[in-house]
Amino acid sequence: MNALALWASRHAAVVALAGLGLMSALAAHAQDAPRVKFATSAGDIVIEVYPDKAPKTVENFLQYVRDKHYDGTIFHRVIESFMIQGGGFDTKYVQKTTRTPVAHEGREALAKGGPRNVMGTVAMARTNDPNSASAQFFINVKDNAFLDPTLIPPGDPVPRFEYQGRVYENTPRAQLERAPQLYGYTVFGKVVSGMDVVAKIKAVPTGPGGPFPSDAPKTQVVIQSATLLK
């Protein structure tokens, strides 16, 4: 084997080892991600959460799990072609007390390579105030790209920014960063087991329930317990 061929062989081996190392690191990272099991009246759902992408959001969620906040709550809003939402009301539709809302981390999570609002991902529910998320969450049952946070291009002012077909030029960065419609919803995890249960929940008949004029399951789906698995 000539010198060039020997170098190429060794280089290929190094690249292969580096690739294996990266795959091992990714596998180890996936194994280290905390998991929570929701035991529901429709079956078990296990979700994996990502503190490296949305640390404040994940810690907020896990603290509610540790505090047993979700035990005895219901999926109070179910839309078959959209999402299932829970974590805020008990079986009598009494809203549970929550802590101070968590800061919105949607853009930061997305910029770090976090997941988008695609089928099976878990995101924080909130009001029109982007920084109002507390305990309620939802599971996407289809790809909901319109819920994704919008990343702001570099620059101040931002030379060019396009949103919903309209182009904005030389816009102050702070104006875009504060625009409520650009925040989206913070995705902090995904379902790793129990999508069949999610499918079962999304298909339940709905109607009025408690304070909700529609979209409440006629037969309640109860989160009997939420347990941190690791």
State the amino acid at position 133 in one-letter form: A
Q: What is the pTM of this model?
A: 0.85
CA distances from 183 to 4, 147, 169 (A): 53, 9, 20
Q: Strand, coil or helix: what is 61?
A: helix
pLDDT, tens digit, 9 for 90 and up, residues 3-45: 445 445 555 555 455 555 544 444 444 568 999 999 999 999 9
* Rounded-to-integer distance, Cα 106 and Cα 149, Å: 6
pLDDT, tens digit, 9 for 90 and up, residues 78-136: 999 999 999 999 999 999 999 999 999 999 999 999 999 999 999 999 999 999 999 99
Cβ atoms of 84 and 75 within 8 Å: the answer is yes
